[in-house]
Structure 1
Amino acid sequence: MSDIAPVWRPTVAVVGGGYGGARVAKALDDVAEVVLVEPKDAFVHNVAALRALVAPEWLPRIYFPYDNLLARGRVVRDHAVSVDSKRVVTGSGEEIAADYIVLATGSAYPFPGKADAVDTDAAHARYRASHEALAQAGRVLLLGAGPVGLELAGEIKAVWPDKHVTIADMADDILAGPFKPELRAELRRQLDALGVELLLGSPLREAPPTAPGTAGTFTVTTGAGSEVTADIWYRCYGVTPLTGYLADDLVAALTPASFVEVTPELRVTGHDTIFALGDITTLGPPMAGHASQQSEVVAANIRALISGEGELAEYVPMGPAIAVPLGPKGGAGEFPGQDGVVPGSVVADVKGRHMLVDPLVELFGVTR
């Protein structure tokens, strides 16, 4: 019988297994008892979801089971229904007491930007059904001229160049946000070359009568009186932070819009051992790249607290950054520290062709 006492390891509960949560869980697996709470049976690479809609053969490539993410920790497949500063309670009633808690539940977004199904098979079925409806549609209406609407238009045109695609938005220009006018001009130029119609500056008088992503011809009218007829439509706006589970002493950190206030160290305001990252925070626009960068700060800071060594790191938000592919070959972007507009050839190399899949293969330990 060994006289060596087991080494105590603190429990870290990570709520949400998206881009940031999965990376934090893996990074702390060697120094803590990690419990990842996630309702989905697989990580979904939402960056490539629009590509999977127009090319369903991508679907198996963008879903990654959690089986090989953690070597020591465990994954609890369930929703968190109540989280305070000491514990996580799941939908099944399991209570997970934790020394550190990481809030990484991300946001909800309309299909096809994200699928709301927690089972991979059900999500695949929805994408395939919508793909079949889209393939038969001659006219497509996209509501929202932000990154998702523009990218979806480019994906559709890359597969079906003869489809008539209209992007409608109540804003006067595309791509709201702190981006360069030159970027918007370049994206408008490419959209015009693809034959995409922009209908800006006037909201619809009524919502389309059919469900998004389903077949059914309809006509809607803008406030300015323009009529738009389409055979299918998609909603390309509406980010909602998933923070409804926060309870008791964590509720005070919520803004009126249900985002979480955090310190520069990414600790939830008013709490030393609770961290938050990604779309649920007030740190900026929802982007997978931001969550990944923030995960490094969160993991480093929890390691420092566990070891009692070193200073806590602060997250420094990067400047405006975006890459908007318009199909596998086109698009444009804006990167911090780089003058001018990032051309489509670079965007295609960074994102457009391979959709940033390869790093996830290594993260989740899968064989492709």
Structure 2
Amino acid sequence: MSRPRVVVAGLGDTGVLTAIQLRRHADIVGITAKPEMVSGQELGLRLARPDAWMHDYRIAYDRFRGLDRARVVQGSLTSLDVDAQTVHVEHADGSSSDEPYDVLVIATGVTNGFWRHPALQHSDGVDTDLATAHHRIADAASVAIVGGGAAAMSCAAQVSEQWPTKKVDLYFPGERGLPHHHGRVWKQVEARLVALGVGIHPGHRAVLPADADQLSSDPIAWSTGQPPSTADVVVWAIGKVRPNTAWLPPDMLDDHGFVQVTPTLRVPSHDNIFAVGDVAATDPLRTSARNRGHKLVAHNVRALRSGKPLRDYRSPTRRWGSVLGPQRDGLVVFAPNGLGFRVSARLVDVLLQRFVNRRIFYGGVRKRSPSMTSSTIRRAS
């Protein structure tokens, strides 16, 4: 049997992992709007210590050994022709192309604030995004973070740790933060935030402004009756995500624009199209981005070609993993039962990043600096 041509639409975290899993079984074409893998993970680290963030979360595609045989196409996806089995791509120079596929994997992710968006960019555009946001935070005397999820918690912790003299306040609507995590997780995270000097304000539900996807400095209005709050910079980390699916036929999408999938992560009525990651409507939390969904898709693509049974995705009932991200004294990882264990900063680099992530998950990453030099960010500090 000849090797199938698999088009992976989107080369963020999940798309890269999926392509690498399939590399020995298919001819891979990856389509991406970015010049390199620009992760949506660890917002707090990205804002506070972008040099450290770039080391592990911004990686040129030609550094991934697992993508050596893949063809990476940079451009914006604009349409899908299911009958012709092609996707249409618009390139930065104004040209366009139709990329044929035997199997299509949709991993285009979501737009989520200023740090995750589908705009077509060169490396200098990514440089500007990173430096501009870092400048805003670095120059502020006070920072307000709105949101009750992990992104908001990591912002509060990382900013407060990096700049201990800043006034950092965290606002969220519920009685506690991290409502989708075990209660034990919030207790430990809250204690850490308090120790860092973060002001914690539960019961504050914000009136969302039109620019809630950007850093802002306008007063925050509350629908829960409190007087407006002010800060030099407001970070909106509210989980207001929009799927990057404008290029797909409407009949593939649910009422919120996410890609409909069966338990096998296959798109209904399209046997050779799969979706994985934040764009796939697997469950209310869309957890396949963080729970080995890429391995399941790779298995099912192989099974599809060989006529074997496909496996089902089983979503976890609670979020787990790191919440605050890597801090200077290490990383705390939480299990689904809420119990946390600390990994020292040295082990985070040597064991988790170099061995587990780069060697095992990514199949090897070459030691070469990303396109942005660290001095670019240091001038913003």
Secondary structure, counterpart of 2:340 in structure 1: coil
Question: Would you say 1:171 and 2:168 are equivalent positions?
Answer: no
**The 10-residue stretch of structure 1 (263-272 or 20-29) with the greater mean CA deviation from structure 2:** 20-29
Cross-structure match for 2:231: 230
After superposition, the C-alpha distances for 1:155-199 in whole angstroms (9 at most, x for unaligned) are: 01111112111112333431132x322222222222222221222
Partner of 1:23: 17
Instruction: Please identify, of 147-156 and 11-20, the stretch whose mean Cα deviation from structure 2 is larger.
Output: 11-20
- Write the letter of the residue equivalent to 1:231: D
Contact preservation (8 Å) 1:115, 1:123: no
Separation in structure 1 between the aligned mates of residue 53 and residue 127 of structure 2, nearest angstrom? 7
What is the distance in 1 between the residues matched to 2:333 and 2:53?
A: 25
Kept after mapping to 2: 8 A contact 1:146/1:176: yes
Residue 10 of structure 1 corresponds to 4
Amino acid at match of 2:311: A
Asked if residue 64 in structure 1 is aligned to residue 94 in structure 2, the reply is: no
Q: Which runs of 5+ in 2 are unaligned?
A: 369-381
Choose the corresponding residue for 1:134, options 133, 137, 140. 137
* Residue-by-residue CA offset, 1:190-225 (whole Å, 9 max, x unaligned): 2222221222323345749999436x5x54443423
Give the counterpart of 2:122 among 100, 119, 122.
119
- SS of structure 2 residue aligned to 1:101: strand
Aligned counterparts, 1:45-56, within 5 A: 45-56=39-50
Matches within 5 A, 1:177-216: 177=180, 179-204=181-206, 207=209, 212-213=214-215
1:20 to partner: Cα distance: 2.0
2: CA distance, partners of 1:164 / 1:227: 17
Specify the SS of the correspondent of 1:124.
helix
> Partner letter of residue 318 of structure 1?
P
Instruction: Check the 8 A contact 1:301/1:313 in 2, yes or no.
Output: yes
Q: 2:80 aligns with which of 70, 83, 94?
A: 83
> How many residue pairs get matched?
350
Alignment partners' CA distance in 2, 1:82 and 1:209: 28
Residues in 1 aligned to 2:213 and 2:186: alpha-carbon distance in whole angstroms: 30
Deviations 1:218-273 (CA, angstroms, capped at 9, x unpaired): 544434233422111111021211111112xxx32311011122122211122211
Is residue 173–residue 202 contact of structure 2 (8 Å, CA) maintained in 1? yes
Query: Hey, what does 1:367 align to over in structure 2?
Result: 367
Ranges in structure 1 where 5+ consecutive residues have no aligned partner: 1-6
Distance in 2 of aligned mates of 1:42 and 1:209 = 27
Distance in 1, Cα, partners of 2:63 & 2:195: 44
Partners of 2:258 and 2:163 lie apart in 1 by 39
Q: Distance in 2 between matches of 1:341 and 1:101?
A: 38
**Corresponding residue number in structure 2 for 1:3:** none
Asked if 1 retains the 8 angstrom alpha-carbon contact of 2:75 and 2:120, the reply is no
Q: Which moved more, 1:230-239 or 1:24-33?
A: 24-33
2:70 and 2:207 mapped to 1: Cα distance? 52
Q: Is the 1:267–1:276 Cα contact (8 Å) retained in structure 2?
A: yes
Residues 365/110 of structure 1: CA separation in 2 closer, same or farther (3 Å cut):
same
* Distance in 2 between residues matched to 1:154 and 1:114, nearest whole Å: 24
Counterpart-to-counterpart distance in 2, 1:84 and 1:347 = 49
TM superposition shift of 1:313: 2.3
For residues 220-299 of structure 1, the aligned pairs below 5 Å read 220-223=220-223, 224-237=225-238, 238-247=240-249, 251-284=250-283, 285=285, 290=290, 293-299=292-298
Which residue is 1:318 aligned to? 316
**Structure 1 residue identity aligned to 2:367:** T
Q: Is contact 2:264-2:312 (8 Å) kept?
A: yes
CA shift digits 1:318-344 (9 cap, x unpaired) = 3423221263447765423xx44314x
After superposition, the Cα gap between the structure-2 partners of 1:126 and 1:72, relative to the gap in structure 1 and judged at 3 Å, is closer
Q: What RMSD in Å do the two structures reach over aligned CA positions?
A: 3.1
- TM-score with structure 1 setting the length: 0.83
Task: Answer yes or no: is the 8 Å Cα contact 2:6–2:103 preserved in 1.
Answer: yes
Change (3 A) 1:341 1:27: closer
Q: 1:354 to 1:119 in 2, by over 3 A?
A: farther
**Contact 2:260 2:268 survives alignment (8 Å):** yes
Deviations 1:81-130 (A, max 9, x none): 11243221112431122111111111111124679563232222222222
Kindly indicate whether the alpha-carbon contact (under 8 Å) linking 2:330 and 2:343 is maintained by their aligned counterparts in 1. no
**Is the counterpart of residue 148 in structure 1 residue 151 in structure 2?**
yes
Distance 1:206 1:245, change over 3 A: closer
- In structure 2, give the amino acid aligned to 1:235: W
Q: Deviations over 1:43-90 (max 9, x none)?
A: 013324431321132254131111254233311111111124322111
Alignment TM-score, normalising by the size of structure 2: 0.81
